[in-house]
Structure 1
Amino acid sequence: MSSLKFEYRDNGIILKTLTPASAERVLMFYKKNSNSFDAYETAKPEGFYTLGFQKRLIAAENESFLKGTQMRYFLFDERFPQDIIGSVSFFNIRRGDFEQCCIGYKIDEEYRHMGYGRRMLELALKIITVDYGIHRVEAYILPANTPSVRLAGQCGFEPEGIAKGYVRMHGEWTDHMRYVYISRYQ
């Protein structure tokens, strides 16, 4: 495993970790897309859509990044690097005989169907497998989230089955499809 890297550039995109100084941009990204993101995510904690919460969240994510337990990269286009286009995160990172993690990703509504999601996931999967030595990446996706299912398939994820009652969303235990990506770089 190589040392931590906070920014990657490839194929016209930038993936980078942010500091609390970027909390206002992150908050705008989440607020702008709250309706579409919230449809496929668990309930947000109280105060999530506040500047103070986002500053604390980014600081906590950076701490986890430095410990190697979680990573979040935000997506930018080199042509307009001030706009957050999406994010990809790796969490539940397990080492030793497992070398696995889970992935979550999202793209701003304005930039969907433009190839950003695929380029982001391809680069992120290369980062987590090559630079950080992760062998297995799992994605849990609501069956109704067809754009995410399609994107996962395009990026090499294979269906592994249904995770019954996987997580409580909107007051109900929901099933998710489990997809897996096995590193082709190791």
Structure 2
Amino acid sequence: MIEAPVFITPRLIVRLLSQRDIPAVIHYYKENRAFLEPFEPTKPKNFYNREFWSHQIDKSLIEFSYDRSLRLFIFNKSQPDKIIGGANFTQMIQGVSYSCCLGYSLAESEQGHGYMTEAIQASIQYVFDDLNMHRICANYMPHNRRSASVLKRLGFVIEGYAGNYILINGKWEDHILTSLTNPNWAER
């Protein structure tokens, strides 16, 4: 099995979860539930329990080993056991597309410090260089200005607008479609 990456940035540790992280991930989502809910799909009933996360962690490692996803969580170096956010590269397609989708979240208390930009920047380098993706798509709701700013700082370009695109918190939401392409992509 391929070794899961760990990205160390000046302020952060970005990595896949392990079983020992279950209490931290449950705490992250419970603590930020009201803040994140307007931006995320409706959670399953068992989302906040150990069994759910134990299965999710195993599933994430399997998906990673088969080049299907890279589900990362963000930890501040000053509190390496506390999750402050997540960045997921999913829907990985090899072959003619070499593309994936990016989704992310950050704790309400950690907003405005540039953590998400820092974490995703390190992750993108790995997704482009090691996983050989050509295109990363990321979408945001038009009223989510913070997300728009993060993507712009990272070099994502707007490609379009999709009405009623993703089911968020029980409601179909419009999204701005963006992407970032790998300028150094080469077929392997």
> TM tier, shorter chain?
over 0.9
**Match of residue 139 from structure 2:** 140
Structure 2 residues without counterparts, runs of 5 or longer: none
CA distance in 2, matches of 1:149, 1:178: 10
Q: 2: CA distance between counterparts of 1:185 and 1:72?
A: 23
Residue 4 of structure 1 deviates from its aligned partner by 4.2
User: Is the 8 Å Cα contact of residues 31 and 49 (structure 1) preserved in structure 2?
Assistant: yes
Cα 1:85–1:185 shift into 2, 3 Å: farther
Q: SS state of the match for residue 45, structure 1?
A: coil
Tell me which residue corresponds to 1:26. 25
* Residue in structure 1 matched with residue 5 of structure 2 by the alignment: 6
- CA shift digits 1:128-170 (9 cap, x unpaired): 1111111100011111111001111111111111122212234
Q: TM-score, normalised by structure 2?
A: 0.92
Give the Å deviation of 1:77: 2.2
Indicate if the aligned counterparts of 2:138 and 2:178 stay in contact, CA closer than 8 A: yes
Aligned residues of 2:39 and 2:169 also touching (Cα < 8 A): no
Partner residue of 1:69?
68
Q: Please state whether the residue corresponding to 2:78 is helix, strand or coil.
A: coil
Pairs within 5 Å for 1:1-186 = 4-186=3-185
Q: How many matched pairs?
A: 184
Return the alpha-carbon distance in structure 2 between the equivalents of residues 180 and 147 of structure 1: 17
Deviation at 1:62, TM superposition (A): 1.5
* Gap runs ≥5 in structure 1: none
Residue 157 of structure 1 aligns with an amino acid whose one-letter code is: F
SS of 1:161 mapped into structure 2: strand
1:179 and 1:48 mapped to 2: Cα distance?
29
Equivalent position SS for 2:161: strand
Distance 1:84 1:173 in 2: 29
Amino acid of the structure 1 residue aligned with 2:178:
Y
Letter in 2 for 1:31: K
Identity of aligned residues (%): 26
C-alpha spacing 1:83/1:170, structure 2 compared with 1 (3 Å):
closer
Check whether the contact 1:20–1:56 (CA below 8 A) recurs between aligned residues.
no
**How large is the RMSD of aligned CA atoms in angstroms?**
1.4
